[in-house]
Amino acid sequence: MNGRPDSDAVRLHNALRAHLRQEFVAPAAAIVGFADIVIEDADQAGLTVYRTDLDRIRSAGVALQTLLDEVLQQEGNASDIDGYRAKLRHDLRTPINAVKGYGEMIVEDARDGGHLSILPDLEKLLAAADGMLDRIDALVAFSGETSFDQAQAEPNFADASRVLDALRHSQPVAVHRSIAGQILVIDDNASNRDLLARQLTRDGHAVEIAASGMEALGIVAERAFDLILLDVLMPEMSGYEVLSRLKHERRTADIPVIMISALDEMESIVHCIEAGAVDYLPKPFAPALLRARIRASLENKLLRDRERAMMEEIRLAKERNETLLLSILPKAVVERINGGAGMVADHIPEATILFADIVNFTPFTAKLSPSDVVGVLNRVFSAFDRLVEQFGAEKIKTIGDGYMVAVGIPEPRDDHAEVAARLALAMLTSLADIRNELGAPIQLRIGLHAGPAVAGVIGERKFAYDIWGTTVNIASRMESHGIPDRVHVTKVIADRLDNVFRIVPRGALEVKGAGLMETFFLEDAMK
């Protein structure tokens, strides 16, 4: 090799093998495939005269495939690359020439005999053979020093040159050792298991080992892993079963599994890949190849983990936003906005509005610190919020020391008046408890009225869900014209609650904005 370093000669050898695999394996398979098609067509057409030569073509194609398989199995040879190429040229040319010789004779005879139906596939078969002959010269002339201009002038050199160039410029495996993972090695053979663990540990991975499938499943149930190397042939529980159980368990389904086995049958490989393995390495395997596949698997898992973490972060952020939105707007309204509703404005045929106001709150808080004032209000309104949720009502807003609730909005319900009445009585009881607890001389005045209303969302940045209409105004007047620790209601409410609550008439009352009204006080529930 004219002083070329041995490693470069090995790379040249490997480049030639790669070129063979890329440029010759597929045409060889095409020769055999087209030969099978022509044989079948000829038999169906009764053209037995061609059968012997067609069989010879097929045999030559199979011989060519066998030869390629043998060549590709050879390891790199640094000592006699020139002899290797010469032998390769001779050995490959023999079966290809046989294919061409018999094929051209059949083509000539078929044309003369008018048997044109078999010609198209025969011509494709011969084209594959011609292409292989052209590439043989490139194999022999290829030196690994082909310039770009030469490669452009002679396309057959280009592929081989690119292969060698890629090998020369590939990064050594050692520089990729920065990705380390938690790896579980499962193998019943102690020597294989320990050697593999030793190699992985030297590469910087944290390694655990298991001598059986059952032991591995027990370890996986307790600890998390980034990758599992799994032997196929094991007593008691095969690698197939271990893989299946890992993939059917939600917690372990996403752990990448590389199968390692002495079995190299295609059926075994397909079975494992279909069952969820990310890769399959027949024994014995090259350590460099294993490292590359481990690195690829760890990189893919790292990307999936990051993607999963981002999705979880997005989900949590969305959940926080929805929780915040639900603290401002009714759930049904949030769902409509999330569904794309540009405006929420509803006419509600009938609902009950409740207004409550803390009496004597201002005098009571006059000597309190701001934090104490807020603390008392928070204590009272938090208790009311819990009751509102308990009764299925909708808190609309707080106004100073006032509290506004709607029942039957935004989702209508027939029992809105009864629910509002029970909520009002519960609020009085709750405030009495707080008054006793805090020793605060505060009382509650509540007003109720039912009727139609308009409800909707206003604001562009700070949303507010509110209710408008005469029903709201009259409910507010019932509160403001009421008496501490009593629930003041209109005749509409009294009529609805008759025979359900004890109702005490208050008499006619001049209500601002509504004129003379007959109003009532709500007592306790009768049932």
Contacts of 103 (CB under 8 A, 6+ apart): 57, 122, 125, 126, 129
**pLDDT (0 to 100) of residue 349:** 93
**pLDDT (0 to 100) of residue 405:** 96
Structure tokens at 486: 């009593």
Three-state DSSP state, 404: strand
What CA–CA distance (Å, rounded) separates 465 from 49?
Answer: 92
Q: Long-range contacts made by residues 341-344, C-beta under 8 angstroms, separation at least 24?
A: 343/456, 343/457, 344/455, 344/456, 344/457, 344/465
**pLDDT (0 to 100) of residue 153:** 44
What CA–CA distance (Å, rounded) separates 405 from 385?
Answer: 10
Contacts of 165 (CB under 8 A, 6+ apart): none
Q: Dihedral through CA 112, CA 117, CA 123, CA 124, nearest 10? A: -170
**pLDDT (0 to 100) of residue 397:** 92
What CA–CA distance (Å, rounded) separates 487 from 485?
Answer: 7
Which residues make beta-bridge pairs with 445? 357
Which residues make beta-bridge pairs with 206? 182
Structure tokens at 137: 């010269």
Q: How many CB atoms sit inside 10 A of residue 452's CB?
A: 12
Report CA torsion sign: 387, 391, 395, 401.
negative
pTM above 0.85, yes or no: no
Q: Which residue has the tokens 């700070």?
A: 462
**Tens place of pLDDT for every residue, the chain, 527 residues?**
344 445 666 666 666 676 677 678 778 888 888 898 899 889 998 999 999 999 999 999 999 888 888 877 765 554 666 667 777 777 888 889 889 889 989 999 999 999 998 999 899 889 888 888 887 766 656 554 444 444 444 444 444 454 455 445 544 444 444 688 999 999 988 877 887 888 888 888 999 999 999 999 999 999 999 999 999 888 888 899 999 999 999 999 999 999 988 776 788 888 899 999 999 988 767 778 888 899 999 999 899 889 999 999 999 998 888 888 887 888 888 888 878 777 888 899 999 999 999 998 888 888 889 999 999 999 999 999 999 999 999 999 999 899 999 999 988 999 999 999 999 999 999 999 999 998 888 999 999 999 999 999 888 777 789 999 999 999 999 999 999 999 999 999 999 998 899 999 998 999 888 899 999 999 988 86
Which residues make beta-bridge pairs with 489? 448, 520
* Of residues 494, 500, 484, the one with CA closest to residue 520: 494
